[in-house]
């Protein structure tokens, strides 16, 4: 085979790959926008609402200390958040196969929901695109190579929805006014360093235990049974999120770094480590924007 034929084959493969990459990105972006539209459509109207430290009376002591540390009395509550991350994701269920990722996430706090759009570099030049979402009581997990070849496509209520709402609640230290007591949000004392939060959204009801550090900041969030995808099954498994490196963002103290892990019988199995690269908010007392 002559070199001209080899070059032609390589060029053809490159063109097909580039076209597949571009078409996959275009198709995936369309799906992302559709999920975002569903998230916005599920939001009820939100009037002006501000933080009132008077509402903290009766809450567990570590929870009161947390709100007084990270918030300011009278500031507007967050209605939506836009978050961008970078970090690494462990692709192996049994070993250590960490791959870089970048992601963008849109969050609604009224009613609770989010859309996470991730891009994981599984191989050089071969990204896996991931949608992880909770919208109007439904959990969604969609993974596709190049945005075209489906690896996982799960959606529904029950354990999947519970697990996604747990993710929303665990990450609420990024938009901490969402943790304030109110309809659907309650707190129960455990001890001087921890408390249990219960979040109800329609038929979905979840509880998680929050642990606070010496400064009153959320250090870990734990679920005794969060749905872990194993093959085609969802297996309830203890889970933990860890948060640190708090910074002031738009008048609130929020963690910039996080790690999440399954707590397996053989030990802790971390699978996501991320750093926030961008974070902004819409407020209840201001005009909301995309």
Q: Is 20 exposed, middle or buried (0-12, 13-18, 19+ CB in 10 A)?
A: middle
Q: Work out the percent of the chain whose per-residue pLDDT is above 90.
A: 69
For residue 283, the tally of other CB atoms under 10 A from its CB is 20
Count of all residues that appear for the chain in the document: 290
Strands 233-249 and 126-135: unpaired
- In tens, the pLDDT along 244-254 reads 999 999 999 99
Nearest one of 164, 190, 167, 175 to 281, comparing CA atoms: 175
Q: pLDDT digits over 152-205, tens only?
A: 888 999 889 999 999 999 999 999 999 999 889 999 999 999 999 999 999 999
């Amino acid at each position: 085979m002559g070199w001209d034929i080899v070059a032609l084959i390589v060029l053809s493969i490159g063109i097909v790959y580039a076209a597949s990459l571009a078409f996959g990105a275009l198709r995936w972006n369309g799906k992302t926008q559709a999920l975002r539209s569903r998230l916005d459509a599920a939001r009820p109207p939100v009037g002006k609402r501000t933080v009132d430290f008077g509402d903290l009376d009766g809450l567990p002591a570590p929870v009161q200390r947390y709100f007084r540390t990270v918030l300011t009395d009278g500031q507007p509550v967050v209605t939506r958040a836009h978050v961008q991350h970078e970090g690494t994701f462990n692709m192996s269920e049994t070993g250590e196969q960490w791959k870089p990722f970048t992601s963008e996430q849109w969050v609604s706090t009224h009613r609770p929901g989010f859309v996470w759009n991730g891009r994981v570099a599984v191989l050089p030049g071969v990204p896996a695109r991931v949608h992880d979402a909770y919208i109007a009581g439904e959990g969604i997990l969609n993974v596709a190579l190049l945005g075209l070849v489906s690896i996982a496509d799960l959606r529904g209520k029950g354990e999947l929805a519970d697990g996604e709402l747990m993710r929303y609640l665990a990450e609420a230290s990024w938009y901490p006014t969402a943790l304030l007591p109110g309809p659907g949000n309650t707190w129960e004392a455990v001890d001087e360093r921890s408390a249990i939060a219960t979040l109800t959204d329609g038929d979905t009801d979840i509880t998680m235990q929050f642990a606070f550090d010496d400064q009153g900041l959320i250090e870990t969030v734990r679920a005794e049974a969060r749905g872990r995808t194993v093959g085609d099954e969802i297996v309830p498994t203890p889970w933990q999120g860890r948060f640190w490196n708090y910074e002031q963002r738009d008048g609130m103290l929020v963690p910039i770094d996080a790690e999440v892990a399954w707590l397996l019988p053989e030990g802790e199995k971390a699978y996501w480590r991320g750093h926030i690269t961008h974070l902004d908010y819409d407020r209840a007392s201001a005009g909301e924007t995309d």
